[in-house]
C-alpha cells in the first residue's frame, strides 16, 4: 500500500512540475471523478473562446476565489502583493480538464490551494486522500461549487491562456478607463 501511495504522490508531484513549467498534460482516465460539471464546457473552452459576457461572469468567480492574490489581476503572476507570485497563467498550455483539476485539487507540495471543499476527503483529487498525500496536501482555498470551479477554469483557459504581455486597454477593461494603475502599461 505504501508503494501505491508513493506512486500516486509521485504522479501528483509530476503534475505539479508540468504545471510549473507550463507543459501539456495528457489526460488520465483515473482522474474522471474531477471532470468538469459540464462535459460540454470542457470540449468548447479553448484559448480566446469566451464571449465578453462569459469573461465578466467568470472573472467575478476568479476574484471571489482570490486567484489574484498569487496570479495577479491579469493572471501573469506579477504584482501579487505580499505573497510569492504564482506562475503566469497567460503562458500555460494546458487543456480545460487539467486546469480544472488543479483549481479543484490544488497542487500538492506548492502554495496552490484546493477549492473543492471535499478535496482529499475521498479519491477525487489525483486518486488520493489526505492520508495518501500527507504533508504535501494543499491548503484549502475558498470553497467553490462545481459550476464555480468550471467558471474559474473557463476564465483561465478561455481568456487568460495564450495572452502575451499585459496591455493598457486590458488593464482599463479590468479596472476601468483612466485608472492610474493602468499608466504602467502600453
The model's pLDDT over 122-139, given as tens digits with 9 standing for 90+, comes to: 999 999 999 999 999 999
Q: In this predicted structure, which of 13-22, 86-95, 122-131, 144-153 has the lowest mean pLDDT?
A: 13-22
Query: Does residue 35 form part of some domain?
Result: no
In a domain, 164, yes or no: yes
Instruction: Count CA within 13 A, CB hemisphere, residue 163.
Output: 20
Are the C-beta atoms of 105 and 116 separated by less than 8 Å?
Answer: yes
Residue 151 has pLDDT above 90, yes or no: yes
Tell me whether residue 38 is in a domain: no
How many separate domains does the chain show? Answer: 1
pLDDT class for 40, splitting at 50, 70, 90? low
Integer CA distances (angstroms), 168 to 62, 128, 171, in order: 20, 43, 5
In a domain, 130, yes or no: yes
Over 50: is that where the pLDDT of 26 sits?
A: no
Would you say residue 39 lies in a domain?
A: no
- 185 vs 153 pLDDT, higher one: 153
Residue 40 lies in a domain: no
**pLDDT score of 141 more than 50:** yes
Q: Given a cut of 70, is residue 116 above it in pLDDT?
A: yes
In a domain, 148, yes or no: yes
CB neighbour list of residue 123: distance below 8 Å, 6 or more residues apart: 33, 129
* Residue the block writes with cell 495528457: 26
Residue 37 located in a structural domain: no
Domain extent for 170: 2-21+51-184
Residues with Cβ within 8 Å of 59's Cβ and at least 6 positions away in sequence, in order, are 155, 159, 174
Residue 157: pLDDT above 60?
yes
Q: Is the pLDDT of residue 168 over 50?
A: yes
CB atoms within 10 A of CB 151: 23
CA distance 12 to 10: 5
Q: What percent of the chain has pLDDT over 90?
A: 62
Q: Evaluate if residue 76 carries a pLDDT over 70.
A: yes
Contact criterion met (CB below 8 Å) for 116 and 97 = no
**pLDDT category of residue 3 using cuts at 50, 70 and 90:** very low
Rounded to the nearest 10 degrees, the angle between the axes of helix 2-21 and helix 96-105 is 120
Percent of the chain with pLDDT over 70: 74
In this structure, what C-alpha cell is assigned to residue 129?
Answer: 486522500
| Average pLDDT for 68-96 | 86
Could you tell me which of 146, 169, 177 has the C-alpha nearest to residue 74?
A: 169
Average pLDDT on 94-120 reads: 96
Amino acid at each position: 500500500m505504501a508503494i501505491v501511495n508513493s506512486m500516486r504522490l509521485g504522479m501528483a508531484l509530476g503534475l505539479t512540475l508540468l504545471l510549473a513549467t507550463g507543459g501539456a498534460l495528457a489526460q488520465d482516465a483515473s482522474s474522471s471523478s474531477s471532470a468538469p460539471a459540464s462535459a460540454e464546457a470542457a470540449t468548447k473552452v479553448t484559448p480566446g473562446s469566451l464571449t465578453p459576457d462569459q469573461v465578466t461572469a467568470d472573472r467575478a468567480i476568479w476574484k471571489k476565489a482570490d486567484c489574484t492574490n498569487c496570479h495577479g489581476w491579469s493572471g501573469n503572476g506579477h504584482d501579487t502583493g505580499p505573497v510569492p507570485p504564482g506562475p503566469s497563467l497567460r503562458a500555460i498550455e494546458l487543456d480545460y480538464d487539467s486546469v480544472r483539476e488543479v483549481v479543484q485539487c490544488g497542487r500538492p507540495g506548492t502554495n496552490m490551494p484546493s477549492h473543492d471543499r471535499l478535496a482529499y476527503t475521498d479519491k477525487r483529487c489525483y486518486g488520493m486522500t489526505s492520508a495518501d498525500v500527507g504533508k504535501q496536501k494543499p491548503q484549502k482555498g475558498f470553497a467553490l461549487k462545481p459550476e464555480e470551479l468550471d467558471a474559474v477554469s473557463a476564465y483561465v483557459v478561455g481568456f487568460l491562456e495564450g495572452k502575451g504581455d499585459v496591455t493598457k486597454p486590458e488593464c482599463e477593461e479590468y479596472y476601468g478607463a483612466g485608472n492610474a494603475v493602468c499608466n504602467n502599461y502600453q
